[in-house]
């Protein structure tokens, strides 16, 4: 199975309040674990990242 491409856009700046990257919405731990995550975990995280990015955009 082909590995899912990282959502990183090389804008790595983590917010103080939630610890989410303002570029992709992941936490530092999620960024580090991305390469070893199972496909179902990536799919679940991708859904959560959509919600997080909306929150980040609304708070900007």
Quick: pLDDT tens for 6-43: 999 999 999 778 899 999 999 999 999 999 999 999 99
Report pLDDT for 17.
83
- For 6, the 3-state DSSP assignment is coil
Residue 2, pLDDT score: 62
pTM over 0.75: yes
> What are the distances in angstroms from CA 32 to CA 6, 18, 54?
11, 17, 22
- Please report, for residues 1, 2, 29, 47, 57, the alpha-carbon distance to residue 54 in angstroms, rounded to integers and kept in the order given: 30, 28, 20, 11, 5
pLDDT-based confidence at residue 1 (cuts at 50, 70, 90): low
Task: Give the span between the Cα atoms of 2 and 52, in whole angstroms.
Answer: 25
């Amino acid at each position: 199975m082909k590995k899912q491409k990282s959502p990183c856009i090389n804008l790595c700046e983590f917010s103080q309040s939630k610890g989410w990257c303002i570029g992709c919405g992941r936490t530092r731990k999620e960024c580090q674990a991305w390469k070893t995550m199972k496909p179902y975990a990536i799919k679940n995280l991708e859904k959560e990242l959509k919600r997080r990015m909306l929150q980040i955009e609304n708070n900007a």
